[in-house]
Structure 1
């Protein structure tokens, strides 16, 4: 039985249960379930939160990325630079518009895409870079922006794991040409179902995304392009409005617990290192350990829930087997996939629970390696 869950979603929803119930009643009584006032209000509130001009609610995070790429006119024959270590949705978005994902290795210390490696991957076919703010830590956007501007490339944020994070004092969502968010229930800002959004300062881009996402139509029954149906649900928007005012507080709780992990585990495991100018919101607390699978099994036996993000790099998946034949290897991503372990973390976890996880992890490390001394990552 899991005594310390990987993430306690029930506690988060319980904290705002009254507001959630009121939101449900409000939407039900309005009888307006698609693209009405709740979506419009959330779009305005979330754009303001991100310090961006406009937010467009869409079906989910993957569709947010697809719509950005389509609106930029990226398609067959084009290349998009993507992290080699990320959730496969980043790659799938590129594939779904007919472009080719080009993997770029991460910095081993932050796990985010390496700006220096991007320079070496650019070709005449390159059209964009998708920077994933992996595990809730912003990528090095200043360096990435310098590279993309120099080469005339679009810079897109995959902010699905980083709601509220900052880089150089600015929120993610306002650091590139456009940003894609997911509101999957386990995210720092999560709905009670699927949902996503695009945030941008480009009003014409936002208008094009709205057109594509609404069956390719700006006017009812007039379809100028072959669009799709990707809409943030009215009810989910109402739920998100209940949680958005608490997001900074919940992120603050995550940050306190992450620092507690770091203090207790320093020198025992390879810890994530926050890049200069970045403020992480710790969607996940991910460490590198030897004998990862055995360590995870020991923690499970101790009643502690863990997860692996991600055991199979996109280039090693069956979905990209053909592409892998023509791509150079990605040894950093391969190494990370064998060593990364995500420990429990959430805004409703307690300091005592963190202490118990650390004690169990240190005991497991001693059991399986005979020593607490393993490699340390540095920037």
Structure 2
């Protein structure tokens, strides 16, 4: 089926058409200003986002991966250190630990939330453990209350990988505001997506804020004077300007996603495993993922019917070739491995109509009935 007739995972074209007049106005304003790097739009977006998340500080960076890397650097994590995280996540969550010279230490997930299981964290802590990277996967809030208890008990720093979870709340606090540092990605398909790569670091810690500001700008606070070896990771004005427009619609987008997710769950929970909401921890549905044994066959059927789907994630981090040097084996994290074989993401987008969603639901139901 041609792309024009496919149901996409996220309909970015339709979203752009809806916001086009405001976005183009912002773009023209930036282009006419002559300020393209670390200008007023970037500053304004930092101020707006820190208010939205509920932190004292925000620093715009080039992407979510850089946000994680810079967070680790700001916390002085490096060679001989260990950082605990989940093996069931996007590669960047583990990659950045290795990039700073530290050792990724994986802990299996909870089968319902897909997030790191707090009950398994303490057994992975060693004298070299310095931090935990907590991933709020698919927009589902991790159990930060228990994780923070463990971190405080063992004097560990906590980085929230909230790249998929902007707007997710736990106990009245938004993802990214609970640990030492929060990291966000504004990759185009995210719930708040830019028109290219973009990211943000948030924190309540004044010292960390100052250090991240310098690290993102070649380790420099004063022009041509460098206190640290940093990197070039600055949120450009065009992305910041467009994100300012989309931020006004974020809560509406999240409301629509939750409404679509609720409808999916009502129609599909008798057929496949559907996402668990959980008490006290919201879900903002960056992805809506189901589980079934015949996942690959369903994905093929949906594709033939012009319905997009994606597998997040087919290979857990501990089984990735790049991490062979860690000497993990198949079977070390059975829940992550099982989920990776059964999980499938269905289209979810604020622009998804009831009629298109009905087509997706009917296709899944027919498949399960016939399998």
Which TM bucket (shorter chain)?
A: over 0.9
Match of 1:375 in 2: none
**TM-score, normalised via structure 2 length:** 0.97
Shift of 1:163: 1.0
Of 355, 359, 369, the match for 1:356? 359
Instruction: Give the secondary structure class of the aligned counterpart of 2:32.
Output: helix
- Whether 1:132 and 2:132 are equivalent positions in the alignment is no
- Whether 1:44 and 2:59 are equivalent positions in the alignment is no
Instruction: Give the secondary structure class of the aligned counterpart of 2:289.
Output: strand
Over residues 76-102 of structure 1, what are the superposed CA-to-partner deviations in whole Å (9 max), with x where a residue is unaligned?
001100111100110011011000010
Match of 1:271 in 2: 274
8 Å CA contact retained: 2:331, 2:337: no
Of 198, 211, 216, the match for 1:213? 216
Of 286, 310, 313, the match for 2:313? 310
- Whether 1:202 and 2:205 are equivalent positions in the alignment is yes
Q: CA RMSD in A?
A: 1.2
Instruction: Give the secondary structure class of the aligned counterpart of 2:266.
Output: helix
Give runs of ≥4 in structure 1 deviating > 2 Å.
Answer: 324-328
8 Å CA contact retained: 1:94, 1:100: yes
Distance, in Å, in 1 between the alignment partners of 2:331 and 2:111 is 18
Shift of 1:68: 0.6
Distance, in Å, in 1 between the alignment partners of 2:263 and 2:332 is 36
Aligned pairs for 1:103-142 (under 5 A) are 103-142=106-145
Match of 1:283 in 2: 286
- Whether 1:90 and 2:93 are equivalent positions in the alignment is yes
8 Å CA contact retained: 1:55, 1:198: yes
Match of 1:25 in 2: 28
Of 148, 151, 170, the match for 1:148? 151
Shift of 1:188: 0.3
Shift of 1:117: 0.8
Which one is further off, 322-331 or 75-84?
322-331
Of 10, 13, 34, the match for 1:10? 13
Distance, in Å, in 1 between the alignment partners of 2:360 and 2:293 is 17
- Whether 1:238 and 2:257 are equivalent positions in the alignment is no
Distance, in Å, in 1 between the alignment partners of 2:325 and 2:149 is 32
Distance, in Å, in 2 between the alignment partners of 1:189 and 1:226 is 31
Distance, in Å, in 1 between the alignment partners of 2:329 and 2:126 is 15
Instruction: Give the secondary structure class of the aligned counterpart of 1:197.
Output: strand
Match of 1:253 in 2: 256
Over residues 231-252 of structure 1, what are the superposed CA-to-partner deviations in whole Å (9 max), with x where a residue is unaligned?
0011100000000010000000
Shift of 1:324: 3.0
Q: 1:234 to 1:159 in 2, by over 3 A?
A: same
Instruction: Give the secondary structure class of the aligned counterpart of 1:39.
Output: helix
Which one is further off, 130-139 or 321-330?
321-330
Over residues 261-314 of structure 1, what are the superposed CA-to-partner deviations in whole Å (9 max), with x where a residue is unaligned?
000011211111122211111000001111111110011112111000011111
- Whether 1:63 and 2:66 are equivalent positions in the alignment is yes
Distance, in Å, in 2 between the alignment partners of 1:203 and 1:247 is 27
- Whether 1:226 and 2:229 are equivalent positions in the alignment is yes
Distance, in Å, in 1 between the alignment partners of 2:50 and 2:7 is 35
Q: 1:325 to 1:146 in 2, by over 3 A?
A: closer
Over residues 185-239 of structure 1, what are the superposed CA-to-partner deviations in whole Å (9 max), with x where a residue is unaligned?
0000000010001011111101101111111111111111111111001110000
Instruction: Give the secondary structure class of the aligned counterpart of 2:273.
Output: coil
Shift of 1:327: 9.4
Which one is further off, 166-175 or 227-236?
166-175
- Whether 1:164 and 2:137 are equivalent positions in the alignment is no
Instruction: Give the secondary structure class of the aligned counterpart of 1:278.
Output: coil
Match of 1:372 in 2: none
